Amino acid sequence: MTGTTSTPKRSENSSNSSALRKPLFIAEPLSGDDGRPIIQKVLIANRGEIACRIIRTCRKLNITSVAVYVDEDSSSRHVCDADEAVNIGSIDRSGHNPFLDVDLLVRTAVSVGAQAVHPGYGYLSENADFANSIHEAGLIFIGPSASAMSTLGDKRSSKAYLGKHAPDVPLIPGFSGSSQDAEALRKVAEEIGFPVMVKASAGGGGKGMRIVREAGQLKDELERARSESQRSFGSSDCILEKYIESSKHVEIQIMGDSHGKVVSFFDRDCSVQRRHQKVIEETPCPFLTDETRQRMSATAVRIAKLIGYENAGTVEFVVDVKTGQFYFLEVNARLQVEHPITEEVTGVDLVSLQLFVAAGGSLQTLSAVQNVSQQGHAIECRLCAEDPQKNFFPEHGKVHLWLPATGTLAPSQDIRYETAIQTGSSVSIYFDSMIAKIVVWASTRALAIEKMLRYSLTQPV
């Protein structure tokens, strides 16, 4: 069964075109032979704003949502937004992070009677062992297969795979072997040529990344990257890449199904970063030519089809602005933080598509997906609890008042506040400093920038 397939109509001549825009297309749940939905209850193995985002789509589809939380996060909005919530322990008292405990999360999903598990982003979202454990428990993992994740979700294995099976896909010069010996990596770095980038093989979100400009820095920076990677992803393995100074970070959103179909949902420019972590994203990418955009999309789809990729994913590229050449960077085998801007310009609810294809749905049956196009321009700004006077050091404490800039939770269809923060929430030292995402859409890039400034950045929150 599929949802309404009309594509949102958007005015190109008005900055206040909310009345002309339809809600995001939502793919309705698939039913089994018994006539009942295949996915009736979803456990969300994550927290914060992404959990709230998934809960919102589940509610629209009449799917029961189950949140998990730790003691340090009990005041988060995702706990009260979900239909059910389960406490999975304490980070402080246990000495480990329950959000990284595969066995605990699988047992919890089974105990609440969930048919599926959504991993969100971060934590175990790109952990093949977690995906495999979910399947072994007889549940649906809302994401790519464990084999696809092992091949493309890990930076090292993805480069090795593409080097063998798609040698014409341009790769950044670097080292993706298994050695983690500092002296061996120093020799490799000298062969590549400094500066180099040390990157967590299993990482993402700016974690486990260090720029090394000379040989004497490599050992210390490697140790820092490995330590951060182990804490964040449960793996300390790192790779080396040539650091391209004059570069832009561009990614292609894809969605694949179990029937061999892969669809590109176009590009995002994620070049505005701090400490290798994205802070502002936009789509369409303002500097790409149509020809380059088409080639990047085609390359992303081809990479996904090589491995039979299913569900949401993002193929990331580095674009050398001096030459215009793009290089494969990595595949994020999950839903991205910045997915809302893609939803805004395509008019498609990507979380609903994740649920649809996870249940076995065919993208070919959805005309809104087959005829997808970009309309208008969208920008996302991440709001972080950090002190700019202390080199953006993370802040923590209680939120005494939370009020979006316009004074409402949903000022219009053209503005989205994605957050799990509410008055009384606690911002904990145990979690990422990002507490909200502000997303705007307008008919042009200039109007989108103006709208972001008017509704968010120039007013108090």
Which active-site residues does the annotation give? Answer: 334
Q: What is the 3-state secondary structure (H, E, C) of 311-362?
A: EEEEEEEEEECCCCCEEEEEEECCCCCCHHHHHHHHCECHHHHHHHHHCCCC
- Backbone φ and ψ of 185, nearest 5°: -70, -30
Q: Residue 446: CB partners within 8 Å, gap ≥ 6?
A: none
Classify burial at 226, counting beta carbons within 10 Å of its beta carbon; exposed 0-12, middle 13-18, buried 19 or more: buried
Q: Residue 212: CB partners within 8 Å, gap ≥ 6?
A: 189, 194, 195, 196, 197, 198, 218, 221, 222
Q: Residue 73: CB partners within 8 Å, gap ≥ 6?
A: 47, 48, 79, 426, 428, 430, 431
Neighbouring C-alpha atoms within 13 Å toward the C-beta of 206: 15
